[in-house]
A = this chain, B = another copy of it.
């Protein structure tokens, strides 16, 4: 029923330092302490950390996670805001994919142009260099 920081870290695959960091920035409540001053967590803290981890795995920023946590605390609130945050994040993810796809295409073109001579004739370097000099 009570867990050490190492235990919740292991259970959620979260670095101990990261758990303390989440506490420091107020994402996790300050837990009770034992006689030895060790942090002592309950199931609720473990659940909360799991929620954070899962959200982070889905690429939400810590600020977004903070908002989602706040919203999920009020069970009677309607979930339009949750939906909005998630959709905004999805748009972000899709934009990043597109950016990286373009970038990858460009990079591939640059690489393909190189046929392995010396740097003076290297097309990669040329492609990176300014257009006219």
Contact = CB atoms under 8 A, between A and B. Distances in A.
Interface string A110-122: 1100101111111
Interface string A53-84: 01101110000000010011011111110110
A51 interface: yes
B75 A118 contact: yes
What is the predominant secondary structure among interface residues of chain A facing chain B? helix
B104 A100 contact: no
A58 B118 contact: no
Interface of A: 43, 46-47, 50-51, 54-55, 57-59, 68, 71-72, 74-80, 82-83, 86-87, 89-90, 93-94, 96-97, 100-101, 103-104, 106-108, 110-111, 114, 116-122, 124-125, 127-130, 133
